[in-house]
Amino acid sequence: MSTAVQQRQFTASMRFLHWLTAALVLTMLGIGVAMVASLASYHTLVSIHRPLGILILLVVVIRYVNRRFSALPPFPAGMSSQERFVATASERLFYIFLFVLPLVGWGMLSAAGYPIVLFGSLHLFPILPHSVVLYAVLRKTHTVLAYLLFLMLIAHFGAILFHTLIVRDGLFNRMAPWKIRA
């Protein structure tokens, strides 16, 4: 048994990065579905989508490193081992998706031969050769992964609501944006 006070929450930096990611990813998914359906706002939305995707890629890398060096709070005592397994696996899956989706976007623009403009004259180098066949595959992959990520977010959100409103085990407190007193 540990002699230190059991930490109730993720560290402040982890919570900050979590809620930052949540805001960025929700915005990003909204922009993503809206831009492909809009003629009037297509260009503006794409111009936001690109740099925002690269920002998410940066944030997820920082988040991963930060997590590796941070102490984690325990799961609520009432959570079964199966529930813990699902929670851990979904967290891993989120990291993979948040890392791979922007990379697929970057790769897909590279394969299409588009300049990867962030803002002004600032642009990124291509990470793949110009190949429309590759582009076609990555473009589809980008959409499929984005829909899957949306479903994962819905499940994540549903699970936390379930724990908060039905089970009432205080799971949400671990990631609450505010500080929870012991």
Partner 1 sequence: MPTETTTPIEKQPAPLTTRRSLPRFAAIGLVILSIVAAFLYLGGWFSPRTLTPARFVDGLEYTGGTHSGFRRNHAKGVGVSGFFESNGQGMRLSRAVVFRTGRIPVVGRFSLSGGDPDVADAPDTVRGLGLLFRLPDGEEWRTAMVNLPVFPVKGPQGFYDLLFASKPDPQTHKPDPKKMEAFLAQHPETARAFKIFQSHPPSSGFENSTFNSLLAFRFVNAHGVSIPVRWSMAPLQPFAAAGPPAAAEGKSYLFDALIASIRQRPLQWRVMITVGQPGDVTNDASIPWPDGREQVDVGTLTLDSVESEATSPARDINFDPAVLPAGIAPSDDPLLSARSGVYAESFTRRAGEKKTPSAITPSEVRK
Catalog residues that contact partner 1 under the rule CB under 8 A.
Answer: 1-6, 8, 29-30, 33-44, 46, 73-74, 76-78, 112-115, 117, 120-121, 123, 125, 130-133, 135-137, 139-140, 150, 154, 157-158, 161-162, 165-170, 173-174
Using DSSP, state whether 169 is helix, strand or coil. Answer: coil
Whose Cβ is closer to partner 1: residue 62's or residue 114's?
Answer: 114
Distance CA 176, CA 30 (A): 24
Whose Cβ is closer to partner 1: residue 20's or residue 137's?
Answer: 137
Distance CA 36, CA 150 (A): 16
What minimum distance in Å lies between the beta carbon of 111 and partner 1? 9
Sign of torsion, CA 163 13 29 45?
Answer: positive
Whose Cβ is closer to partner 1: residue 9's or residue 62's?
Answer: 9
Distance CA 112, CA 129 (A): 9
What minimum distance in Å lies between the beta carbon of 65 and partner 1? 26
The tokens 């397994």 sit on which residue? 85
Whose Cβ is closer to partner 1: residue 6's or residue 64's?
Answer: 6
